[in-house]
Amino acid sequence: MRKVRVHRNCSFFTVPQTKAMKIKSVNLETVCGVTSRLPQNRMLEIAFAGRSNVGKSSLINALMNRKNYAKTSSRPGKTQTINFYNINDAFYFVDLPGYGYAKAAPELIKKWGRMIERYLKDSRVLRLVFLLVDIRHKPNANDIQMYDWCVEYGFHPIIIATKEDKVKRSEKQKRLREIEETLGVVEGTPVIPFSSVTKSGREEIFEYIDMVYEDFGKDILRELEQGFEK
Ligand SMILES: Nc1nc2c(ncn2[C@@H]2O[C@H](COP(=O)(O)OP(=O)(O)OP(=O)(O)O)[C@@H](O)[C@H]2O)c(=O)[nH]1
Ligand SMILES: [Mg+2]
């Protein structure tokens, strides 16, 4: 039995060993540019953060069972907006713009950073953040800052080490440990290797999504009405 904590207002969860939930419908409902107002959603949000090109949109497609509904590209900087995907009319996947995209204008990079921070701070229905890092590389200063922001705003991100298909099996554990140590994750934080090519790791990621949906998703409206403070 694994126990994890993803948000400061929750006690420790025991992760259920369930089958991945069925995705019945997906709909890109809201797209926010740097100057847009963020939506006041009334369903649970689950966000995906990570450096540009790390594989956020690819992961979201893999979870949604869609090929390229969330647009992906081998050129970094594809997703430059915050995209809210309505899943099953029950919750949202939130695709955040990639940070650390060197070719973008510095002013724009700053605006994205502020926008992501504002979203983490202001969303009243965000309960789970997945932070993606490339399994091949040691997390850099941007990754560490992103992790620290999340913690500052009350989240304990679950780490996803993407592009697992690109490392040798014998190297995997070492890489995962390096990621854990460099980010300085909260004790007990899951670090899940994932590949959007082989889909390995998908079921495990869904265990956490199921868990958070069971615990927060169904009651979120009531919590909003009662003025639940994040
Ligand atoms: N081999 C391999 N390639 C991957 C994997 N995930 C993503 N890629 C590739 O990496 C590139 C970037 O993927 P995206 O999903 O667009 O990355 P992103 O994080 O959404 O990037 P931005 O939108 O720029 O922030 C694409 O060429 C993908 O095909 C993976 O698990 N394995
Ligand atoms: Mg993207």
SS3 content of the chain, % helix, strand, coil (to 5): 35, 20, 45
Closest CA to 99 of 69, 68, 144, 64: 144
Residue nearest to atom 30 of ligand 1 (CA): 163
Average pLDDT over residues 67-72: 88
With contact defined as beta carbons under 8 Å apart, do 212 and 128 qualify?
A: yes
Instruction: Give 31 Cα–ligand 2 centroid separation in angstroms.
Output: 13
Q: Using one digit for the tens of pLDDT, what is the confidence trace for 13-57?
A: 666 555 667 899 999 999 998 778 899 999 999 999 999 899 999
Output the DSSP codes for 88-115: TTTEEEEEPPPB--TTS-HHHHHHHHHH
Considering the domain 3-224 in this protein, what is its CATH number? 3.40.50.300
Instruction: Give domain limits for the chain.
Output: 3-224
Average pLDDT over residues 210-229: 77
Residue nearest to atom 12 of ligand 1 (CA): 53
For residues 78 and 228, which has the higher predicted lDDT (pLDDT)?
78
Instruction: Give 171 Cα–ligand 2 centroid separation in angstroms.
Output: 27
Q: Using one digit for the tens of pLDDT, what is the confidence trace for 80-133?
A: 889 999 999 999 999 998 877 666 677 777 888 888 999 999 999 999 999 999
In this structure, the dihedral spanned by the alpha carbons of residues 147, 33, 220 and 9, taken in order and rounded to 10 degrees, is 20
Token pair, residue 37, equals 């107002």
Token pair, residue 98, equals 């990639």
Q: Using one digit for the tens of pLDDT, what is the confidence trace for 134-151?
A: 999 999 999 999 999 999
Instruction: Give 136 Cα–ligand 1 centroid separation in angstroms.
Output: 13
